[in-house]
Structure 1
């Protein structure tokens, strides 16, 4: 009986520590991003000058959330995933002239990662000005640093 109680206490302690660790990690990582974005009905979202900014904190016991900037009247958007131990991953979503919507993972220099889809790469070139605007807006909103491709 004593052995079962010890196992239960260990499991309970691990669960409590995981919850506390998760809560601290999420708040340390994401609170700085929510400062300029108001919370409305549980969602951090702001519209400004035709662009929508949002912060999605990770769900319960998850570690992946994101920051987003999107052109309000298009499919064009930038998604930024803050990483647990620093740094970011990036994704672009945009519409090509053919009407198809593309989603591409990019590095901090906005170079595509593992994407050989010629039509997606062409659509990315066609949207270069809009992509740079999204990056610029993310930099201003959250004080982020990108190494933009020239």
Structure 2
């Protein structure tokens, strides 16, 4: 009877050890994959700290202003693979958000604020809207959107 109890206990202990080893390995792999990619994006940028104790921990948001544009990088949250890159003009009338993918499916969003309305439009790498309904809006604001795409590509080489 005692040997059955002892074997069951050993299996539980071994299973628990294996679980924590696999979980630790997954954490290390996740950290290496995400942070190696996003460290390149946030090079030469200042960390953004939020909260009283935030400076004790590694920042996951970075920001800088350069040549009349605001750039920001948001690292993926814990055990997620999606962060984002953003660029906006100084008057905040247009912004681009880029969600880099590790698997070649990078997504792009454009936020446009004109005199009366605001738009959030998903586009492809050629600035073509995914939903063709928004094509006239993108065309109308192309002179503002195009320089943002060019600056994003210049800084992050994502397009």
TM-score (norm 1): 0.84
Say if 1:86 and 1:28 are closer, same or farther in 2 by CA, change over 3 A: farther
5+ long unaligned stretches in structure 1: none
Does residue 66 in structure 1 map to residue 84 in structure 2? yes
Tell me, in whole angstroms, the C-alpha distance in 2 between the residues paired with 1:87 and 1:4: 41
**More displaced, 8-17 or 81-90?**
81-90
5+ long unaligned stretches in structure 2: 1-8, 50-58
Q: 1:47 aligns with which of 53, 57, 65?
A: 65
CA RMSD, Structure 1 to Structure 2 (Å): 1.8
1:17 equivalent in structure 2: 25
1:85, CA displacement in angstroms? 3.0
Q: Which structure: larger Rg?
A: 2
Where relative contact order (Cα < 8 A, 6+ residues apart) is larger, the structure is 1
Does residue 84 in structure 1 map to residue 102 in structure 2? yes
How many residue pairs match? The answer is 141
Q: Which has the higher helix share?
A: 2
Tell me, in whole angstroms, the C-alpha distance in 2 between the residues paired with 1:31 and 1:48: 19
